[in-house]
Structure 1
């Protein structure tokens, strides 16, 4: 199976050995970040630094000023962590080592945007704003994300792209000094805490026949016992149990329609900007109501829109992730199984060959390795050994 490793530009720029080191792992491709959220990242082999702090969401190349001049929302330029055309420099070095380069574009995840423009953010049923989560139902936000997808995906030399967070973001977020784990929230409670009640979403619920005030009250009532005891309930039926089938259906319809519109528009914009044959994949989850980096999608729908999906398969999740898509894939669909290969982040690089074989049996056509820049030398040695055993 074709294998790609995730990288940040700062893993490569300034390190003359980085590109060859990645090629020597046995991968054929690199998925290189071109638009990314704020992060603090380890660089264990770089000759000039060990920790890179990306202070805010940014594009990692010089944005086209003419494209954004008249727009209300626009991407932020990177600071010292990715100066100039950091993406372009890294991509050139990787291509020079014989690797295909695909861009990696994070869309609906931007804390600086939410801080500076709170009107763009998801608002929960209690009135709390989530500044990291742009509301994709807002027309200005959706237009910005579609334009960003086109620009950040189709970078010079890129042969394809992977769109992350191309859908709803919600409560779950790796925030600085996070303190929200005191009450256990299951899958269903996370969904209720991720419902948006901004003016646009309230109007959307109303158009589907639900009074938004009554819906918000129902969400709060459903969550009341959760704050006392926690909850582990998961799945769409659990959401219906908490909220009631009719109200749950309204939220599924409104949010699902908004997500599908964004996904279709983003993929179409990328294809319009790219040369024929440019591959477009989405980081995805087969449960349409789920939120986050791997946005919830309808498998049958999304495989008719994009060229395929990248699915989180670490920790025994491969069957749950791959099976719903395998049932709907065409001969050309890409189902990329994404495995964390950083031991310190819960990955298991030592079992990569076994995990890959299992994923292939479940329908995976490609592999993704998260994340070659963050992994230790020992982890990378395990990765190379695992890949050497794959056909």
Structure 2
């Protein structure tokens, strides 16, 4: 059973002990960020710093000038890690320590892209733009993301990749100084708030027999009780909750359009990565959720389709037994990698103390690999607990 820990290049660059420390956890692989969104990260063990502020979404390697010459949408370079190619430097150190390296590529999550090219963003039913969420239905965005996937995934020394946000992003987004919790939104209301009404999506709804103006009005009517209530908002969850809010006919038509767009992006991105890796044994996984209407880092997918497209999935398994059963159950009986992803940073809601028990439960449900989020962000005591758990798992 393979276990991989997530890392950023800045966790390794400038720290000669980082690779050995990660190897000694008992993992065999590292999933190393090559294209990532903006973040502020603690580097509690680094000998030279304690905070890295990644000010915008960027690639952590030098992008190919020939690939992007003359193109309006192109990846941004980074300035917060020393060196021309921090990804390559970190990957080499990890490989020298005996760890297999896979790239970690974040796609449809880019606030700087939305700020500089606002027409690329998701637009909700009220006309508000989500600058962090590129609309994947737009041809220019689709092309950009597919080319980014190919370049950022197939880095020198990488044996595979994990594509995050390879699908729809929407309302849910942890933002700086977030002030959106005043009204509770279950995932059904969040789906309605994530529906896009840009020109491309309006045309797409038309292809499903919907009038985009009428659909937008229906979404606003469905959400009005949420805003007009006492602050309790909407607790509706699941696809049945979406149908209750919007009506089954309208809900199903929106999901047909969005599912078609997402599947096309996923097929194109995986094909582009495989073409770029031609001649190499290169694994392609997607961060995913088996509920097709879900948006975000773990994009909603159809289980059978995604495992016929990619080599497997990475599934969010932090939580209780029911949560793991919900994400792993739809993949039962299907071939392909099913990597169970566990948060191991206590301060970010992870549970390293229950890792052994939770991993055993995931394996009993059909998980084939483990992922640990995140070896660079975890405290020393958290990592000690993880190492102890991994020493017992699989005995």
Q: TM-score range by the shorter chain?
A: over 0.9
Counterpart for residue 244 of structure 2: 241
| Structure 1 partner of 2:327 | 321
2:279 is equivalent to residue 261 of structure 1:
no
**Helix, strand or coil for the counterpart of 1:288?**
coil
**1: CA distance between counterparts of 2:83 and 2:173?**
26
Q: CA deviation at 1:318?
A: 1.3
Q: Is the partner of 1:304 in helix, strand or coil?
A: helix
Give 2:160's aligned residue: 160
2:366 equivalent in structure 1: 363
SS of corresponding position for 1:179: coil
Whole-Å separation in 2 of the counterparts to 1:326 and 1:293? 22
Query: 1:237 deviation in Å?
Result: 1.4
Q: CA–CA distance in 1 between the matches of 2:81 and 2:280?
A: 33
Distance in 2, matches of 1:276 and 1:249, equals: 40
Q: How does 1:222-233 map to 2 (within 5 A)?
A: 222-229=222-229, 230-233=233-236
Query: Which residue pairs with 2:391 in the alignment?
Result: 388
SS of the residue 2:157 aligns to: coil
2:44 matched residue in structure 1? 44
CA deviations on 1:217-240 (whole Å, 9 max, x unpaired) are: 000000000113301111111111
Q: Deviations over 1:62-90 (max 9, x none)?
A: 00000110322100001123541000000
Partner of 1:303: 307
Structure 1 contact 60–82 (Cα < 8 Å) conserved: no
C-alpha separation in 2, matches of 1:133 and 1:86:
26
Aligned length: 388
* 1:247-274 deviation digits (Å, cap 9, x = unpaired): 1111001100000000000000000000
Distance in 2, matches of 1:82 and 1:353, equals 37
* TM-score scaled by length of structure 2: 0.97
TM-score between the two structures when normalised by the length of structure 1 = 0.98
State the alpha-carbon separation in 1 of the partners of residues 287 and 280 from structure 2: 21
Q: Which structure 2 residues correspond to residues 24-173 of structure 1 after superposition, within 5 A?
A: 24-81=24-81, 83-173=83-173
Asked if 1:278 is matched to 2:254, the reply is no
Unaligned runs of 5+ in 1: none
Does the 8 Å CA contact 2:184/2:234 hold for their aligned counterparts? yes
Offset, 1:277: 2.0
Distance 1:80 1:358 in 2: 39
Alpha-carbon distance in 2 for matches of 1:82, 1:187? 40
Q: Distance in 2 between matches of 1:312 and 1:356?
A: 12
Q: Is the 8 A contact 2:41 2:51 kept in 1?
A: yes
2:179 equivalent in structure 1: 179
- Partner Cα separation in structure 2 for residue 204 and residue 83 of structure 1: 44
**Of 291, 295, 308, the match for 2:295:** 291
Q: In structure 2, what is the Cα distance between the partners aligned to 1:82 and 1:53?
A: 13
Q: Is the 8 A contact 1:60 1:83 kept in 2?
A: no
Separation in 2 of the partners of 1:245 and 1:280?
Answer: 35
Out of 341-350 and 66-75, give the one that drifted further.
66-75
Structure 2: how far apart are the matches of 1:310 and 1:92?
A: 24
Contact map agreement 1:285 1:294 (CA 8 A) in 2: yes
Is 2:121–2:134's contact at 8 Å kept on the other side of the alignment? yes
State the partner residue of 1:336.
339
Rounded to whole Å, the distance in 2 between the matches of 1:294 and 1:83 is: 31
- SS of 1:108's equivalent in the other structure is coil
Please state whether the residue corresponding to 2:319 is helix, strand or coil.
Answer: helix
Deviates more, 1:39-48 or 1:62-71: 62-71
Judging changes above 3 Å, is the alpha-carbon distance between structure 1 residues 82 and 105 closer, same or farther for their aligned structure 2 residues? farther
Tell whether the 8 Å contact from 2:218 to 2:246 is kept in structure 1 after alignment: yes
Describe how 1:205-220 pairs up with structure 2 within 5 A. 205-220=205-220
Distance (whole Å) between structure 1 residues aligned to residue 344 and residue 43 of structure 2: 15
Q: Partner of 1:6: helix, strand, or coil? A: strand
Contact (CA 8 Å) 2:53, 2:80: kept in 1 or not? no
SS in 2 for 1:202: helix
Give the deviation of 1:363 after TM superposition: 0.3
Distance 1:174 1:99, change over 3 A: same
Runs of at least 5 residues in structure 2 that lack an aligned partner in the other structure:
none
State the secondary structure of the residue aligned to 1:267.
Answer: helix
Q: Distance in 2 between matches of 1:345 and 1:217?
A: 38
Contact map agreement 2:9 2:87 (CA 8 A) in 1: yes
